Structure 1
Amino acid sequence: MDCGNQACTGWALSLQAVGMFLGEFSCLAVFYLLRCRAAGHPDASMTQQQPFNPLLFLPPALCDMTGTSIMYVALNMTSASSFQMLRGAVIIFTGLFSVAFLGRRLVLSQWLGILATIAGLVVVGLADLLSKHDDQHKLSEVITGDLLIIMAQIIVSIQMVLEEKFVYKHNVHPLRAVGTEGLFGFVILSLLLVPMYYIPASSFSGNPRGTLEDALDAFCQIGRQPLIALALLGNISSIAFFNFAGISVTKELSATTRMVLDSLRTVVIWALSLALGWEAFHPLQILGFIILLTGTALYNGLHRPLLACLARGRSPAEEGEHERLLGGSRTPINETS
């Protein structure tokens, strides 16, 4: 059975998504392992879990599955760096949905962060329009891929709002929440591989049979190419480690730190894509990424520590000089005003 590039990317759309959910599902095993270790400590947070219905996390799992599937399709239509940068749109929709459904009030800096993110997305999209396109990524496919990524972020933001509501309302441990979603996603998507094997997809298909998915062909390719199995194993392991590390950073440091570290991932992907020759350099991408990073920083309040450091950096002599330049010595009028 021939294994061309097109066929190899075809099965990746669903099979990699199954692997992703398997990685998330492994977080549930980690949770119960840590819970068993903490059984002798009554005050441990692992043992202080309220009973909850696991089906509460079915809607977030469906959102995760749908958004991930759409993003895997979009990734085949556009560059990896643009894919990663456009995922920053999740801040926009998460902020808006938090206001609408969680009753949260956004401060001025968060609204400015959303506006900056929108501007950054426009610049990144413009860079895709102006960059040269080869036979693999035509302009129409790039535009479609970019729009699909943004559409997927709407679904992902719904998932994040639902997760936040359920995790805080029912005091569910994050590892348990991620693992429960992974269980639902793994079971549902594995079952969907059966009808996908028979649904025709014409030119949209990436396998020799022309169907939406060919799991048997995928396993055949894995058997013939051990590197594919290694890549899938790496995908499963990285997803599990990524979720566990992200939760740990959020718990021990802050969600803001996690967002900053996640932004560094975009830089690494973009640099590797350039180094390996997978895409051409475009200055607008740098500008777009800087604007996106600024929007993320404003939304997560990173400007506050910076302003506080600048305020503390002034010496008393500088403060006195600044006061004299503004108005000289204080007068009774100054003191009463």
Structure 2
Amino acid sequence: MAPKASPLMTGLYVLALLVCGSLNTLTMKIAFTMSGTVDGHSQRFEKPWFITFVMFVAMCLALPCDKNMWKSTKMVAEPLLDNVHMSRDAVQMTWRQKVVRVIAPAVFDIGATGLCCIGFLYIPASVWQLLRGAEIVFAAIFSVFCLNRRLYVFHWLALLFCVSGIVSVGLASVWGDEEQASAKGTAAGVGLQVLGIGLALAGQVVQAAQVIAEEWLLKDVDLPGLQVVGFEGIWGALLMLLFVLPTVQFLPGSDHGHAEDELDIIPLLRSNSKLFALICLYTFSCATYNISGIAVTGALSAVHRVMLEALRTLIVWAFGLWVHYCVDSTSLMGEVWTKWSWLEVMGFVLLVVGQMIYGEMLKIPGLYYPPHEEVEEVMASPGSLKNLSSPVPRTFSPRGAEQ
């Protein structure tokens, strides 16, 4: 077992998680609002599938940071999942077979990130960030049917809080769209708001399926976390290059007749140095976020994970308000405080409370809680890192009993 990081290094990693987690959302949204020049015409950089590809490239950068990659023999230390029991398959599989198995979560991640990025084009950054809380709902339901996990009453109560929060955020976004558009001098688009929310939620369904797939498919893949992140990045980038990007290039759509025209990306980046720098910052931020997450996952309690995610949401929301009221009231990145914003605040509170009840940080008097969990499973997989509040219910067992 590798030595644990010092308190100072752990603190720096947690700070990197918070800063880079916020930067991931902000840089992506800012990039979608920027424009470049193609054939003498101004064009906005609305390339969600390219951004998805960049995310996988950033994940690849985790591999050079894993010291085991440079050993002559691939010795495995610090397994992906902190499981007490490892099946025989883990011993029998070769290193290459384990690497190949990482393809499965990469496929889920392509769908989840792509859907979320497309939805991000139509909704404010704070709403998009808050809707990420839906993953915990879908993952809990999937875990019952796919992993045979048991949900107790407090779990269902927590999910009720989360669903109420998601509904509140969605309604606040749709009902406040006209006021947002009026303040920015643009046309209202309630239909696009609904579309964006629907795509973001669909992305969370796939993201939840990814987390379940990772726990089921990778439970015997005792690769170090950095290798899992890095190889998922490699597989994801290859699949994007070979299948996804060519497909969206040839599908009909509004981007020069394509669903997404990938051929004008280089001219767009060359014509706008700030946009190019922003994409580079996004790549660095994603890489740092994943590496930091793997480094401190074991040190983070459920409280830390929920609080970090809540702070990240507040930073994103505060930045949007600051842009609108202090920088440029017409900026597409800015957010307006509408009469429905209090409903969004309530949704935020409900989501945080729901996650705290789910993780047993808040215990409801009169409800049954298992007497003791022998081991708290800590996932360090790429899917779970995207949502710091672990969405998969733990496996409980009586004290001293085997799971």
Q: Per the shorter chain, which TM-score range? A: 0.7 to 0.9
2:45 is aligned to 9
1-structure distance, mates of 2:98, 2:187: 46
Do the aligned partners of 2:78 and 2:225 also contact (CA within 8 Å) in 1?
A: no
Alignment of 1:179-218 (within 5 A): 179-191=230-242, 192-201=244-253, 205=254, 207=255, 209-218=256-265
| Worse overlay, 275-284 or 131-140 | 131-140
Pick the aligned partner of 1:284 from 328, 334, 343. 343
Identity across matched positions, percent: 27
Pick the aligned partner of 1:261 from 301, 308, 317. 308
Alignment of 1:60-71 (within 5 A): 60-71=105-116
- SS of equivalent residue, structure 2 residue 177: coil
1:242 is aligned to 289
Pick the aligned partner of 1:87 from 102, 121, 132. 132
- SS of equivalent residue, structure 1 residue 168: coil
Do the aligned partners of 1:249 and 1:257 also contact (CA within 8 Å) in 2?
A: no
CA RMSD in angstroms, aligned pairs only: 2.7
2-structure distance, mates of 1:137, 1:180: 42
Do the aligned partners of 1:167 and 1:177 also contact (CA within 8 Å) in 2?
A: no
Note the C-alpha offset of 1:255: 5.1
* Counterpart code for 1:144: L
Do the aligned partners of 1:114 and 1:299 also contact (CA within 8 Å) in 2?
A: yes
- SS of equivalent residue, structure 2 residue 138: helix
2:65 is aligned to 30
Mark the structure with the bigger radius of gyration.
1
- SS of equivalent residue, structure 2 residue 122: coil
2:158 is aligned to 113
- CA spacing shift, 1:137–1:154, aligned 2, 3 Å: farther
1-structure distance, mates of 2:265, 2:118: 17
| Worse overlay, 99-108 or 276-285 | 99-108
Note the C-alpha offset of 1:34: 4.9
Do the aligned partners of 2:107 and 2:236 also contact (CA within 8 Å) in 1?
A: yes
Q: Which runs of 4+ in 1 moved over 4 A?
A: none
Do the aligned partners of 1:83 and 1:149 also contact (CA within 8 Å) in 2?
A: yes
Do the aligned partners of 2:135 and 2:204 also contact (CA within 8 Å) in 1?
A: yes
1:223 is aligned to 270
Count matched residues.
295
Do the aligned partners of 1:102 and 1:165 also contact (CA within 8 Å) in 2?
A: yes
Stretches of structure 1 lacking an aligned partner (at least 5 in a row): 305-337
- CA spacing shift, 1:262–1:249, aligned 2, 3 Å: farther
1-structure distance, mates of 2:125, 2:354: 21
Normalized per residue, the structure richer in helix is 1
What's the TM-score, normalizing by structure 1? 0.80
2-structure distance, mates of 1:34, 1:136: 54
Stretches of structure 2 lacking an aligned partner (at least 5 in a row): 1-38, 80-89, 325-333, 364-403
2-structure distance, mates of 1:252, 1:3: 51
